[in-house]
Structure 1
């Protein structure tokens, strides 16, 4: 099997596991999962608002999850750990699920979207983007996007720092999809410049060289001066 195919298989398996855990741990405030494949086993880290519900009485629930990962998804030697979500408003999975629950109660999608925007930005996020898809106001499905702050669209900043969470719900008018992107408070910005104060304080004026290049008007370079 080629390396590309192996990568696709791992991502497909992770998506299936994530879907299973989202349904299994709906009442526990599921907030995502990290899966790291190692030669001696697989580390599975589950993020949840209520870790006790993930573990279950006497570890019953977490044992069921481990057995399902081995028997259904073919995960070898899964080491399952649970991490509590400290700030739910900065977790895209939690916020997407909250939006879905509000839509189930009949609250208008725009009201829910603006409420979620305020909660996420008040929690310290640098940027947020919310997409709600479905038959929002008519019989034809469409997508509405709500944004606040800064949100990288491409490059390393978008791949490494932007967190994405999705959820869906079946209403009378059809299926509604929710996608939440959050740019966390500790993520850097491309225009931010960090200065090394210690090096600047030790810098001497004699170490600085200034080179001046004059144009002679004929496309060439004139004399150079150094200070």
Structure 2
């Protein structure tokens, strides 16, 4: 969408890079909020002259698509309205994360839901750590910050 604006107002390369970065950050933030529980782990934006393709990477692509593709259409219209895309100029695709054990974002979400579910911190961390290592990672570091259950105020 930024390449369309560039034709109208000739902005400098620096400004275009910044604008692209801000667009990506805002899109990532929006999708993180919307698709957090569906294993959202990243987004890729491909700008072509005819349309902008947004590829959503998630562990549970069925949930992202929704029944009969309803949810992906809702997301498409949401992105279209939020970033002022012309009608039919943006397309969203869902792509499954190839190995979710090696996706840091997916594992952080998994750990988050375990902790929100009331599992003990150490037990949840070791479960995630074991799962990642069993799936062929060379190493893993999990950092938990803030007050834990046993900690005093």
Query: Structure 2: any 5+ residue segments left out of the alignment?
Result: 1-10
Distance in 1 between residues matched to 2:15 and 2:54, nearest whole Å:
22
Q: Which runs of 5+ in 1 are unaligned?
A: 140-227
- The 10-residue stretch of structure 1 (63-72 or 101-110) with the greater mean CA deviation from structure 2: 101-110
Change (3 A) 1:110 1:11: farther
The 5-angstrom pairing of residues 157-172 of structure 1 reads none
1:46 aligns with 2:56: yes
Please report how far the alpha carbon of residue 36 of structure 1 lies from its aligned counterpart in structure 2 after TM superposition. Answer: 2.2
Cα separation, partners in 2 of 1:67 and 1:117, compared to 1, 3 Å: same
1:94 equivalenced with 2:140 (yes/no): no
TM-score scaled by structure 1?
0.54
2:28 counterpart (6, 18, 21): 18
Q: Check 1:67–1:119 CA distance in 2 against 1; reply closer, same or farther (3 A cut).
A: same
- What CA distance in whole angstroms lies between the structure 1 residues aligned with 2:143 and 2:21? 23
CA shift for structure 1 position 63: 0.9
Q: Do 2:56 and 2:95's aligned partners in 1 also have CA atoms closer than 8 Å?
A: yes
**Structure with greater helix share of residues:** 2
Residue in structure 1 matched with residue 68 of structure 2 by the alignment: 58
Write 1 or 2 for the structure with the bigger share of strand: 1
CA distance in 2, matches of 1:5, 1:127: 39
Q: Once structures 1 and 2 are overlaid, which stretch shifts more, 62-71 or 74-83? A: 74-83
2:3 aligns with none
* TM-score, normalization by structure 2: 0.76
CA 1:75 to 1:125, structure 2 compared with 1: closer, same or farther past 3 Å? farther
In the other structure, the counterpart of 1:224 is none
Cα RMSD of the aligned pairs, angstroms, is: 2.1
> Which residue is equivalent to 2:142?
130
